[in-house]
Homo-oligomer: A and B are copies of this chain.
Amino acid sequence: MHSRTPSPAARAGRPRSATADTAILAATRAALVELGWSKLTLGDVATRAGVAKTTLYRRWAGKNELVVDAVAELFDELRVPDRGSLAADIEGVVLQFAAILARPEARSGLMAVVAESTRDDALRERIRASIVERQKRLVLEGRARAQARGELPPEEDPEEAARTVDLIFDVVAGAVVHRTLVSAQPADENWVRGFTRVLVTGLTSLPGRPQEHQTGTAADSPPAPGNRAATDSPSAPERKAADSPSGA
């Protein structure tokens, strides 16, 4: 063995410009603010970033993938503040989420790529990995903290717990998105307070597993409801060519 590649994915030749990546993503967000999704063109982004249009196509397959990466960076700042109670923690996270969605580059970009992802499985997976999964971790973190405080009981059935996390996540993210983008009204403190009150009340005051009273089978869902924790390690965000310069 003579030619050992010193580090993975640094094989040979001229390396990709890292500054170009950040410039392109920043230019994409700027273009989203000024033009919105539909009028954003890759040629324009390339000009703003000071690179050639062909460079863009060498790194991203198209507009969709580029915008996903550009928007994903906006969610890097999300944290779970320790405010002392479950309700207060949720309020804090929701307010942060709402603040991000209030920015025009997120508004116009995020929903557009989600819409596109309904016809493009690879794109949806990219969104899930780079945006959704990061948010879901916040829910897990908040639950762990609430359990440590004794506000929530420790989970018994892990599968049931996972389903609850998914439910909470859909409710929280969905409500904020709908309030912000569809109803077009600010998710300000008042709204977040009312929303959190309903959510926390609904979560804490319902018994662990009440009764499968009416409709029928409630807990014997088949073993594979989704594809939880089955699409992770391989086939990362899968850039067009090779390396993965996006923050990560």
Contact = CB atoms under 8 A, between A and B. Distances in A.
A119 B36 contact: yes
How many copies of this chain does the complex contain?
2
A170 B179 CA distance: 6
A191 interface: yes
A110 B178 CA distance: 12
Nearest to A202: B202
Interface residues on A, range: 35 or more
A111 interface: yes
A66 to B, nearest CB: 14
B171 A87 contact: no
Interface stretch (A10-18, A181-189, A237-245): A181-189
Interface in A92-142: 104, 107-108, 110-112, 114-119, 124, 127-128, 132
A167 interface: yes
Interface string A168-200: 011101111111011111101111011111111
Nearest 5 pairs between A and B by C-beta?
A202-B202, A174-B178, A174-B174, A111-B115, A198-B202
